[in-house]
A and B are shown apart, each in its own frame.
Chain A
Amino acid sequence: MTSLSISEVTLTFGGLNALTAVDMEIEPGLITSVIGPNGAGKTSLLNCISGFYHPTRGNITYGDRSLTNASPHSVSILGIARAFQNLELFSGMTVLDNLLLARHKNLSYSFFQALFFSGKTSRVEAQNRAYVEDVIDFMELEPYRKHTVGSLAYGIQKRVEVARALTLGPEVLLLDEPMAGMNIEEKEDMVRFVLDIQKERGTTVVLVEHDLGVVMDISDQIYVLDFGEVIGAGKPEEVARNPKVIEAYIGEE
């Protein structure tokens, strides 16, 4: 398994440091959570990993590949998938089409074969459709397969977002607040999915989340960010005792 490491990453917007010398080691096969107050730089960090931002200084490496200046599509081809915080779904398309789009790089037929919808095209499409159905089954999206994504409830859309990232067949899954704005049942469902993704598929999960209860329960490793700096790291119980973390969350006495 390849590990994702972030070393000395600094991201600057004008005079503002969104991230300052962030060091992280994301262990393969585990659930690593990134927590912190609003504006701490959690999403910026995910954007750096997935290639939407490029760090001003520092390096991000995945195995022996550098992701520092990689573009989002090349990052996703390396096997790092991202689910967005503010739903970035193709809202006019069906759930099925959304997921099939994630198979883009696996659909290996040429333009001319597609023009005539040759036997190979049909076969490859059907194979990938089977893969998509697996994910639909896994994420329990069967009733919504043919629904337009824009017409679904928020909680379901969030699930589609995670499903789409999963359809990329990633080794590392970056989840940006998958439980934000959900009710308790939907949260419980999502937690179950995240745990299943890690256990059954062996996917490394990087979770950015505000719900501390969830994070403390399911994470193997936690990093705490505040004002763009890592102020605490370690196992959930260690982090919970860290005075700096307590200070960032509930203030000084």
Chain B
Amino acid sequence: MAANRWLATGNYFTSYQEEQRIFFTHLDRSVFMVFIALLFLWPYFFTLSNKYMLVIDNILIAMVAILGLNLVTGFAGLISIGHAAFVGVGAYTVASFARVLGDSHVVVTHFWPLLILLAGCTGAVFGAIVGLPALRLKHLYLAIATLSFQMIFTWTINFMRFFDQGQTISVGRVFWFFGKVARKQHYLFWYYVALILVIGIGLMIRNLMRTKYGRCLVAVRDNDRAADAMGMHPGLTKVYAFAVGGFIAGVAGALHAYLYRGVGIESFSLHESITYLAMAIVGGLGTLHGAFWGPVAIKMLDLQVEHLAEVAGEMLPANMNLATALRPLTFGLVIVLFLMFEPRGIANWWRIVRSYTKLWPFRY
């Protein structure tokens, strides 16, 4: 009987290579392709105001960062409270070029793809260095080591004249094939760059997870004694996890620097690190698509809180800024609620929806 390649009617695999596929049916693949195409095409049909474009860009950059954090904390189980610092390392790599060569030097404006890659590499180097304590430390102690990196990073930038003591270092507008990316296209341009990177990195992580380089991460998370007995070096595996996580964070940092056309320390503070961790938890640790849900949920929540504050603000004395008060409140509440009721995050809802629709309309 010929296998139906459009609908999953049964298991028709005849070789192990067939079982390695990401998409088991043509339908799955087509839905995915159409979805990606829509992401690329929608800007031709709608125009969003800069305010909302910025939110979307921010979400995509956060997705890149969370893909890295999810690898370290979700897959490898190493709590990292210094992820914003790794993102900062990437951003400050770009900033240091702008600082030395001038913010509109050709390297900064024309060779930005290379700079993004370089920012990733710096992130990887710092990641590996910060990961070194993982050779000795475990669990919360390791988390404190990453926290100390966050502290050292903020402190160093704040006191370095080279980085203007953490004040904004501007980065010039970039060039693309059609010339300088103008003010009007800026957000759209970076939307596409970030989108391509999110899809690219997402697919690569998906690939990694079906090879030994991904399995070894989950192995050290689940049981590093057994991982050791299976012939992998648990310490080095953790350092490797930090390096890859650092690379992805560095890429996110460079994107951030270019999007805001400047780098300031306040975007890479401890507060941001915890926000990243919250995004990873709300999205769902240890699942690939959790890295996409988390940033969307948290940033959307942020937007809603702002709306709410505006509405409620009219009924209150003018000198109160409700948004500043409401934001940490809702934010904290959401994290607590998720940890209590859905520790596996939004990714779990997605799993439930999928397994339900797979068999729909039958219940068995």
| A positions within 8 Å CB-CB of B | 50, 52, 71-73, 76-77, 81-82, 84, 88-93, 97, 100-105, 107, 109, 111, 114-117, 121-123, 125-126, 129-130, 133, 164, 168
Contacting residues, chain A, for B25 (C-beta < 8 A): none
Interface of A is mostly: helix
A73/B228 contact (C-beta < 8 A), A90-B223, A92-B218, A130-B16 known = yes
A88/B226 contact (C-beta < 8 A), A104-B232, A105-B231 known = yes
Decide if A116 touches B222 in the complex (CB within 8 Å).
no
B207 within 8 A of partner (CB)? yes
Q: Which of B20, B211, B219, B225 contacts A109 (CB 8 A)?
A: B211
Contacting residues, chain A, for B274 (C-beta < 8 A): none
Bitwise, B167-208 to A at CB < 8 A (1) or not (0) is 000000000000000000000000000000000000010011
B9 within 8 A of partner (CB)? no
Contacting residues, chain B, for A97 (C-beta < 8 A): 215, 218
Contacting residues, chain B, for A125 (C-beta < 8 A): 16-17, 20, 210-211
Q: Which of B17, B204, B208 contacts A126 (CB 8 A)?
A: B17
Decide if A104 touches B211 in the complex (CB within 8 Å).
no
Contacting residues, chain B, for A111 (C-beta < 8 A): 213
B134 within 8 A of partner (CB)? no
Decide if A122 touches B226 in the complex (CB within 8 Å).
no
Decide if A90 touches B207 in the complex (CB within 8 Å).
no
Bitwise, B216-236 to A at CB < 8 A (1) or not (0) is 101100110111111111000
Contacting residues, chain A, for B47 (C-beta < 8 A): none
Decide if B222 touches A93 in the complex (CB within 8 Å).
yes
Question: Could you tell me how many residues of chain B have their Cβ less than 8 Å away from some Cβ of chain A?
Answer: 28
Contacting residues, chain A, for B222 (C-beta < 8 A): 90-93
Among residues of B, the one whose C-beta sits closest to the C-beta of A118 is B207
| B positions within 8 Å CB-CB of A | 15-17, 19-20, 204, 207-208, 210-216, 218-219, 222-223, 225-233
**Contacts A/B (CB < 8 Å), 12 sampled:** A71-B233, A73-B231, A76-B230, A91-B223, A93-B218, A101-B216, A103-B212, A104-B232, A123-B17, A125-B20, A126-B17, A168-B231
A123 to B211, CA, bound (A): 11
12 further contact pairs, Cβ within 8 A, besides A84-B225, A116-B207: A72-B229, A90-B218, A90-B222, A90-B223, A90-B227, A92-B218, A101-B227, A115-B207, A117-B207, A117-B211, A129-B19, A164-B230
A101 to B234, CA, bound (A): 13
Give the distance to chain A from B14, nearest Cβ to Cβ, in Å.
12
